[in-house]
Copies of this chain bind each other. A is one copy, B any other.
Amino acid sequence: MSQFWEALFSQTAGAIKPSPIREMLHLIRQPGMISFAGGMPDPAIFPVEQFNEASSILRSSGRDVLQYGTTEGYGPLKEFLATWTAPRMGRVLKAEELLITSGSTQVVDLLNWALVDRGDVILVEEPSFMGSTLNMHNHGARFETLDCDGEGMIVEALPAKIEALRARGETIKYIYTITNFHNPLGCTLSLQRRRALLDVAYRYGVPILEDDPYGYVRFDGDHLPTLFSLDDRGMVLYAASFSKILAPGTRIGWCAGPAELIRKMTVFKQGVDVCTSVVAQALVYEYCRLGHLDAFLPKIIAHYTKKRNAMEEAFRRHLPLDEVRWVTPQGGFFYWLETPNIAATDLFDASIEKKVAFVPGHTFYVGQGGIHNGRFCFTFASSEEIDEGASRLGQAMRERLS
């Protein structure tokens, strides 16, 4: 029947392929493999006991929790988030500015439903998170890409890009940026560039999706103000989730933005999943209400600080330092290595042979690029595995150089 279905598939379905990371899974899951590939938290730091404690809400509020919820999200969780996020949002959010989602990936999906017609342009950093660009691609978006350096998106290049696109008659719908501890780059948008980015948004009337899954997981330095908190014209939609500050298995994300946009996204959410799992939302709420979010977050940060340090030391100890460059991430999950004289796919093959996995850089590009880069996640592997993995990676690099 394969041909029968092939003939029925939509043009979108015909054009997309499973993610390269999924394709690699059989390699990554080999016994003995040290994986820097997936962007996964360390299960050793999951607050299992504390989350289990929150399950009391399944009894105390059982009938509410098991019923259909409102599409906007579980009321108590919304109230909690409205104030808990205030330090980063710059103020307490109003209920109509906040939407709970089935993970922050759904924020991208709902925004695309609200804004994107086939052929519209989205301005994206390159490289960027492939889950987001996959969704944008499915919605028929085309991409204009923005280069990044150690301070994040090179905002200075934006006005010329926007003007050129508009001169060609293109419709630009929004700018997508991962402001803190970028996936895959690890870099953070500087304060000066944040202000400059908002200026561009205002000047050209292009809104911004500020994707911030890693923002709370900062190891060094001070938090920078979010674009949302710097924006006084309602042109930023801010997206975040509990995946990195609690655990991803909850699949609870949220977004904050102008009420008229949130309302429109909510109508689409009705049509895609009615509402986010009330059971999962209630468990997360109760975990937060019991004080575990605030108590446990410093432990998560301390744990990943050690792992980031372990990877930094291991790279310095084991890699051929003349042949590899990186910017040390101040938070988040990832190192982005550049090996100007080694092709990443060659390095990947050599590394897999030595049982160490990473994600080759080209995977994060909607166009061409990243052929001398790789993303290395430091949160999942143990500190011992990080050292051993870096050692094997160093050997693989030296083999490829000789």
- Which A residues have a C-beta under 8 Å from some C-beta of B? 1-2, 4-6, 8-13, 16-19, 22, 38, 40-41, 43-44, 46, 48-49, 51-52, 55, 58-59, 62-69, 71, 102-103, 105-106, 109, 113-118, 120, 131, 134-135, 138, 173-174, 205, 207, 233-235, 243, 246-252, 258, 260-261, 264, 266-268, 270-280, 282-283
Contacts and interface: CB of A to CB of B under 8 A. Distances in A.
Nearest to A21: B270
Q: Counting chain B CB atoms within 10 Å of each CB, which of A41, A105, A120 scores highest?
A: A105
A213 to B, nearest CB: 12
B105 A102 contact: no
B43 A52 contact: no
B62 A51 contact: yes
Given A115-B9, A251-B278, A271-B135, A67 B51 contact: no
A115 B10 contact: yes
A135 B268 CA distance: 8
Contacts of A268: 13, 16, 138
A71 to B, nearest CB: 8
How many copies of the shown chain assemble into the complex? 2
A117 B10 CA distance: 5
B43 A48 contact: no
A8 B38 CA distance: 35
B249 A278 contact: yes
A234 to B, nearest CB: 4
A44 B67 CA distance: 10
A109 B260 contact: no
B117 A67 contact: no
A5 B55 contact: no
A-B complex: 8 closest residue pairs judged by Cβ atoms:
A48-B62, A66-B247, A55-B55, A249-B278, A43-B63, A251-B277, A135-B271, A66-B249
Contact of A114 (B4, B13, B48, B173): B13
Given A102-B102, A105-B273, A67 B40 contact: yes
Nearest to A283: B279
A258 to B, nearest CB: 6
B274 A251 contact: yes
A1 B267 contact: no
